[in-house]
Structures are given as C-alpha cells and as structure tokens.
Amino acid sequence: MIIRALTDEDVTAFQQIMKISITGICAEAYGADTAAAWVSDDNPAFHFTIPEFAFVVEEGGEIIAVGGWSRTDVVDLHPIGDRTVINPTHARINAVYIRPGSEGHGLGHKIMSHLEADIKSRTALRDIYLWSTKNAIRFYQAMGYTPGIDKYPEVAPGYKIQIRYMWKRLE
C-alpha cells in the first residue's frame, strides 16, 4: 500500500471513490435513498472540488481510498472553492473516503496521519478542522478530534443530513 499525491489521471478515480464511499458507507447512517440522491449526477446541490492537497491510497495498482486538505482563513461548512486564501489560519480536512470493503483495516487512520503530517510539513498551521458524517464521528474522536456543533445541510433537494464540526490542534 502506498499513499501518493493525486495526479491529473487520478481525478476521476478520486471522485468515484468519494461517490461509492457515500453510497456504500454513509448510506448506513443516512439511508440508501439519501445517499443515492446525494451523489446523483442530476443533483444540482452536489459540488465537490478536489482539495488543494489531495492524495490517493493505492494497493496492487488500484486506488482504494482518497483524502485531502486545504488552507483556509474561514471555518466554514463548505470548502473555499477557488477563492484565494492570502493569510490562512486553519487547515481543513476536505475529504477522506474509503472504498466500501476496504474499511476496517486502518486505512482511515493512515490517511489522516498522512494528511496531518503533510499539513505540518508544508505550513505552520496547527489548527485543523473537518465536518464529519455521522458514521465517522467516533473515528475522528479516536484520532483526537473534539466534537462541536451539528449542522443539517441539504445534500440534494429534499434531503438533509446531520454532520458534526470537529477540530484538533496539531502539536
């Protein structure tokens, strides 16, 4: 297993891992109908920007997990998109997705450790945050993240989900 930087050739696989993770893993927390509506190609609310620093996890030449983070100056629900951040104050974990069937083998922990190390090596930022789906809250708490407020964004017309703000200070 290797973790490497995302290449242009990996973008479609990155997005596919994200979609099948939502439909295969998040569906347990939110229901199959919500997950399917969330990732539908017809969903006008579905927008996902590849994180500023994106990585893939490869095993046997196949991408089985993805993750990424971005610098930001605003703690916000949605990624900053293509807005230029001049004075970043936080790092935001934008994405950690694992292909269904590959979870439960420590991949999430390895990706998060890689992302945190990458943040520390590239920047002086030590305050990081993320928005967790219900199914991942315990995982992030075990990684040292402190839970905060819940939000209920609409992920597709007529479909809202509960997500939790979480943060951590890197040492």
How far is residue 77's CA from residue 153's CA, in Å, rounded to a whole number? 9
How far is residue 122's CA from residue 10's CA, in Å, rounded to a whole number? 22
Per the structure, how many domains does the chain have?
1
Residue 90 pLDDT greater than 70, yes or no: yes
Going through the chain in order, the beta strands assigned E by DSSP cover: 2-5, 53-59, 62-72, 90-98, 127-133, 146-151, 154-156, 159-160, 163-169
Residues 6+ apart with CB under 8 A from 82: 49
CB atoms closer than 10 angstroms to residue 108: 22
pLDDT tens by residue, 22-75? 999 989 899 999 999 999 988 776 767 788 899 999 999 999 999 999 998 888
Q: Which domain holds residue 14?
A: 2-169
Q: What is the pLDDT of residue 86?
A: 82
CATH value at residue 93: 3.40.630.30
Tell me what the mean pLDDT of segment 139-147 comes to: 96
Q: What is the pLDDT of residue 84?
A: 74
CB atoms closer than 10 angstroms to residue 154: 11
Residue 95 pLDDT greater than 90, yes or no: no
